[in-house]
Structure 1
Amino acid sequence: IDAIIGTGNIKYINEIIRKLDTTNNKIIKVDNIDSSYLENVERINFSPYAYVRISEGCNNHCTYCIIPKLRGKHRSRKMEDIINEVIYLSENGVKEIILIAQNTSDYGIDLYGEYSLYRLLDKLNDIDKIQWIRVLYLYPDNFNESLISSIKNNNKVVKYVDIPLQHVSNNILQKMNRRTSKKDIQDLIKKLRIEIPNIIIRTTFIVGFPGETDNDYKELYKFIEETRFDKLGVFTYSQEEDTPAYNMPNQIDQSIKDERKENIMKLQKYISEDMMMSKLGNTYDILIEEYSGNNIYIGRSYMDSPEIDGVVYVDSNRLLEIGEYVKIKVTEYLEYDLIGVLADESSK
Structure 2
Amino acid sequence: MKSKTLQKNKVNIITLGCSKNMVDSEVLSGQLLANEIEVVHESTKRDHNIVVVNTCGFIDKAKEESINTILDQVQLKQKGKLDKVYVTGCLSERYRSDLEKEIPEVDAWFGTMELPLMLKKLEADYKKELIGERLLATPQHYAYLKISEGCNRTCAFCAIPLMRGGHVSKSMDDLVKEAEGLVKKGVKEVMLIAQELTYYGLDLYKKRMLPDLMHRLADVKGLEWIRLHYAYPHKFPLEILDVMRERDNICNYLDMPLQHASDKMLKAMRRQITRSETEELIAAVREKVPGLCLRTTLIAGFPGETLDDIEETKEFLQKHRFDRVGIFTYSHEEGTSGYELTDDVPAAEKERRAQDVMSVQQEISYELNQEKIGKTFKTIIDKKEAGRYLGRTEFDSVEVDNEVVIQSDAKLPIGEFVNVKITKAFDYDLEGEIVK
Normalised by the length of structure 2, the TM-score is: 0.72
Map 1:254-265; keep pairs closer than 5 Å: 254-265=347-358
Q: Give CA-to-partner distance per residue, 1:72-127, whole Å, 9 cap, x none.
A: 00000000000000001111100001000111111011111111110000111111
Select the residue among 211, 221, 236 that pairs with 1:118: 211
SS of aligned partner of 1:329 = strand
Contact 1:276 1:335 in 2 (8 A): yes
Select the residue among 296, 305, 319 that pairs with 1:203: 296
SS of aligned partner of 2:156 = coil
The 2-side partners of 1:51 and 1:61 are apart by 25
Q: Which residue of 2 aligns with 1:33?
A: none
Q: Which residue of 1 aligns with 2:430?
A: 338
- 1:127 and 2:220 aligned: yes
Q: Which residue of 1 aligns with 2:197?
A: 104
Q: Which residue of 2 aligns with 1:94?
A: 187
The 1-side partners of 2:134 and 2:296 are apart by 32
Q: Which residue of 2 aligns with 1:316?
A: 408
Contact 1:115 1:142 in 2 (8 A): no
The 1-side partners of 2:321 and 2:132 are apart by 42
User: For residue 323 of structure 1, what is the amino acid of its counterpart?
Assistant: G
Contact 2:136 2:143 in 1 (8 A): no
Q: 1:12 Cα deviation (Å)?
A: 2.3
Q: Which residue of 1 aligns with 2:110?
A: 5
The 2-side partners of 1:190 and 1:69 are apart by 34
Q: 1:5/1:304 Cα in 2 relative to 1: closer, same or farther (>3 Å)?
A: same
SS of aligned partner of 1:142 = coil
The 1-side partners of 2:148 and 2:332 are apart by 26
Q: Which residue of 1 aligns with 2:267?
A: 174
User: For residue 80 of structure 1, what is the amino acid of its counterpart?
Assistant: D
- 1:58 and 2:151 aligned: yes
Q: Which residue of 2 aligns with 1:24?
A: none
- 1:286 and 2:391 aligned: no
- 1:16 and 2:111 aligned: no
Q: Which residue of 1 aligns with 2:282?
A: 189
Q: Which residue of 1 aligns with 2:43?
A: none
SS of aligned partner of 1:286 = strand
The 2-side partners of 1:332 and 1:65 are apart by 39
Consecutive unaligned residues in structure 1, runs of 5 or more? 20-35
Q: Give CA-to-partner distance per residue, 1:259-299, whole Å, 9 cap, x none.
A: 211111111111111111111000000001112254x2111
Contact 2:313 2:357 in 1 (8 A): no
Q: 1:281/1:40 Cα in 2 relative to 1: closer, same or farther (>3 Å)?
A: closer
Q: Give CA-to-partner distance per residue, 1:113-171, whole Å, 9 cap, x none.
A: 11111000011111111100001011111321211211121111000000000012111
Higher relative contact order (CA 8 A, sep 6+): 1
Identical counterparts, % of pairs: 37
Contact 1:106 1:142 in 2 (8 A): no
- 1:237 and 2:342 aligned: no
Contact 2:132 2:177 in 1 (8 A): no
- 1:137 and 2:242 aligned: no
Q: 1:202 Cα deviation (Å)?
A: 0.5
The 1-side partners of 2:311 and 2:367 are apart by 22
Question: Runs in 1 of length 4+ with deviation above 4 angstroms?
Answer: none
Consecutive unaligned residues in structure 2, runs of 5 or more? 1-105
Q: 1:176/1:293 Cα in 2 relative to 1: closer, same or farther (>3 Å)?
A: closer
RMSD across aligned positions (CA): 1.6
The 2-side partners of 1:221 and 1:342 are apart by 37
Q: Give CA-to-partner distance per residue, 1:10-54, whole Å, 9 cap, x none.
A: 2322212349xxxxxxxxxxxxxxxx9x82433335431100100
The 2-side partners of 1:210 and 1:291 are apart by 44
The 1-side partners of 2:308 and 2:376 are apart by 42
- 1:72 and 2:165 aligned: yes
Normalised by the length of structure 1, the TM-score is: 0.90
The 1-side partners of 2:136 and 2:325 are apart by 31
The 1-side partners of 2:297 and 2:382 are apart by 26
- 1:266 and 2:266 aligned: no
Higher mean C-alpha displacement, 69-78 vs 214-223: 214-223
The 2-side partners of 1:47 and 1:266 are apart by 35
The 1-side partners of 2:412 and 2:348 are apart by 48
User: For residue 169 of structure 1, what is the amino acid of its counterpart?
Assistant: S
The 2-side partners of 1:308 and 1:250 are apart by 28
- 1:306 and 2:398 aligned: yes
Q: Which residue of 1 aligns with 2:315?
A: 222
